[in-house]
Chains A and B, each alone.
Chain A
C-alpha cells in the first residue's frame, strides 16, 4: 500500500467505540461459524466470506438512517448483520429454511430484507449498481416535498474492485452524476477480482480517480480502520443530505479468507496475507481502545460472549427452522395480485 491516508480520527466515546467493535466481532464470529457449518454441509452453494473486511460494513452502514437503503453483493453478510437484519433470519436463509429472510429462496448470495431496506444480495458483479441508482431516483421523488433539506434519502451501494471493470459501473456512475442522485458508491477494493489482481483488471488502478472523472467527490479511505471508514462515510452522507449528489468512497481493504469456499488461493502469497492480517480491523480498534483505557481483557471477553450467544441463537433458530412446503415451489414467480394465484403464467 503506497497510498497515504489522512491520520486516523480520534477515538469516539467508549459506548460508541464498543458498538463498532461489537459489530465487527459479530460479523467475524458469525462468518467463522458459517465456514464451520459449510464443512458440516448445513450451508451449501457458494459462500463468500467477508472476514478481514469487517471495518467497511461496521463503519459505514450504521451512519445510514432507517429511511436510507442498502444494496449489497454476494459478499453481503456483513452489511446485512450491521444493518440490523437479524442474525437468526440470515442464518436460517443460509440453511435454506422458510424462516430465512428470503424464505430460503436466495441463500448466502441473496439476502433481502424489505423491513430494513436491505435490497440484496445481488450476485451478478456490477448488477447492484444501476438498481441502487434507481432506488435513489425513487427516493428523490418520494422526498421531493423536502428536497435539499435533511430529508434526502441516501442509497448506499456496495461493490468490489472487480465491478469497476463492468459496463454497469460506468453507466451507473454516469447516470447518478448526470442526475445528481444521492447514491453513496462504496467500493470495497480488496485488490482481487476473485483471483485476478487489480493490476491485471484495470488500466487505471486508482479507482477513486476514475470515479472523480464522472464529476463526483471521491475519496480513498483506509478500509481496515473502522474509524476512518465511519468518518469518511459521515462526511459523505452529510454532504449528500445537503444536496451534494452522489459520492464515491474507495475503501482499501483485504479479504483474509479465500474468494469462496472452492478457492485454493494460488494467486497470492501467504506473506501478503500475513502482512495484511497485521492490520486486522478488529485488532486495530481493540488496541486503540486498550490504549485509550476503554477496553481490557474482561471487556473484550464480554463482547465475545455477547456475540457468541447471538451466533449460537442464530444457529439454534436455523436448525429449528422448517423447509418451505413443496406446494410453494412455484409461488412468487409472479406476484399474487387481484386474486391471481401467481402461477397463471
Chain B
C-alpha cells in the first residue's frame, strides 16, 4: 500500500516513528518545538512527545551542534535541525573536528550517532546567504555520511536510516521540496544509505544527480524524449557512502554521462563523480563527461540573474546533446 503525502509530512513521519521506536532519539534546534519548526517539519511533535524529546534552542548553531555531539558520544541519538544549512556553517567546527573525527581519533572507542538535518539548495530570490547548496562542505570530510532525498519516499526512508545509523549523517533536504507530493510505502519504510536509484531508465545518455535537481533532470529527460533521445536518470540519494557500482553500471550502459548539481562547480560533487568514472570506466566513454551546476558566483537576488545562475532544463538538454555530439 502507498499513501500520497508531502515531503514535509514524510520527514515528520520519519521523526515521529523513530522517536516512538527508540527513546534515545530526540530532536533539537531553533524553533523546532513551540513553533513546530521554521518549515513545519516537526509539526505536532512537541505535543506528541515532550520538551525533553523536542528541544528548542537559542540561536547557537555551534553550541547546540556540539551539544548534540556530546550527547551522542554517550549513546543518545540526537537529530539536530538546522533551520537551514546556511546557518550550519557556524557549526562546522563541531561537525568536522568533533563529530567526523571522534571515532577515529579515539581509536574506535567513541562513536557519534548523530543526524544533522535541514533544508539546503537554491531557493527563490533569497540572494547569496540564504540560497546555496551545502553538500560539498559536509561531504568532503571522511567520517560524515551525506544523503540528499529528492522524493517524499526517499525523504522518509533515508531519514529513518540516518537516525538508526551509528555515525554522523547529514540529511540535506530540498528547500523547495517540502510541499512536493509523492507516494510513500506504508509501514516501516527505510532506504539504506549508499544506494542510488534509477529514477528513469534510458539507453542514450546517463544524467546523474542528487537532491532537488532530480526533478530538473526528469524534466530535461522528457524534453529530450520528444527529440528521440532516451535519457537515464540516476539519483545518487547518498553522496557518502557513494554507490559507485550504480554509477559505473549506467555509464557502461549508455557510454555518456552528464552530472547535474545545484552547487558550485569548483571541487563540487560532480568532480568526484567524474573522477570515479574516468578511473573506473574510461574505456566505456564515447564522450567527455560534462557538468551542469550553479554558476560560479554567489547567488544574485534579481530574478533575471538568479535564473541565469541556476541550472535549467535547457542547459541540461544542451549538455546531453553535447555529449551525444548532436549540437
Contact = CB atoms under 8 A, between A and B. Distances in A.
Contacts of B108: 103, 331-332, 336
B240 A345 contact: yes
A344 to B, nearest CB: 5
Interface string A99-134: 011111110001011100001111010010111111
Given A103-B107, A134-B72, A135-B73, A335 B63 contact: no
Most buried by B among A106, A114, A137: A137
Given A131-B66, A131-B98, A345 B107 contact: no
A212 B301 CA distance: 44
Interface stretch (B54-62, B150-158, B219-227): B54-62
Nearest to A123: B97
A330 B277 CA distance: 23
A296 B106 CA distance: 42
B234 interface: no
Most buried by A among B68, B69, B71, B113: B71
Contacts of A7: none
Contact of A134 (B66, B104, B113, B240): B66
B135 to A, nearest CB: 14
Interface string B81-109: 00000000000011001100001111111
A103 B142 CA distance: 19
A141 B165 contact: no
A174 interface: yes
B232 interface: no
Contact of B62 (A144, A171, A336): A171
A112 B240 contact: no
Nearest to B97: A124
A168 interface: yes
A172 interface: yes
B110 A112 contact: yes
Interface string B205-248: 00000000000000000000000000000000000111000000
Given A335-B111, A345-B240, A137 B166 contact: no
A100 B108 CA distance: 12
Nearest to B113: A335
Contact of B142 (A132, A144, A333): A333
B93 A172 contact: no
B62 A130 contact: yes
Contacts of A171: 60, 62-64, 66
A339 interface: no
Contact of B94 (A69, A130, A178, A331): A130
Interface string A312-345: 0000000000000000000111111100000011
How many residues of A sit at the interface, in one of the four size bands? 35 or more
A105 to B, nearest CB: 5
A344 B240 CA distance: 9
B62 A332 contact: no
Nearest to A112: B106
Contact of B67 (A114, A134, A144): A134
Contact of A114 (B62, B109, B167): B109
A177 to B, nearest CB: 11
B190 interface: no
Nearest to A105: B107
B106 A134 contact: no
A167 interface: yes
B241 A102 contact: no
Contact of A175 (B52, B60, B165): B60
B76 A130 contact: no
A305 interface: no
A334 B143 contact: yes
Nearest to A137: B71
Given A127-B66, A129-B66, A332-B104, A112 B142 contact: no
A345 B241 contact: yes
Interface of B: 52, 57-58, 60, 62-76, 78, 93-94, 97-98, 103-111, 113, 142-143, 145, 165-167, 194, 240-242
4 cross-chain pairs, A with B, having the tightest CB-CB distances, nearest first? A134-B70, A130-B66, A171-B63, A103-B107
10 contacts: A69-B74, A105-B106, A105-B107, A112-B105, A127-B66, A130-B70, A135-B73, A137-B70, A172-B63, A174-B63
Given A334-B167, A345-B142, 10 more contacts: A105-B107, A124-B97, A130-B94, A134-B69, A135-B71, A135-B73, A138-B75, A142-B74, A332-B107, A337-B167
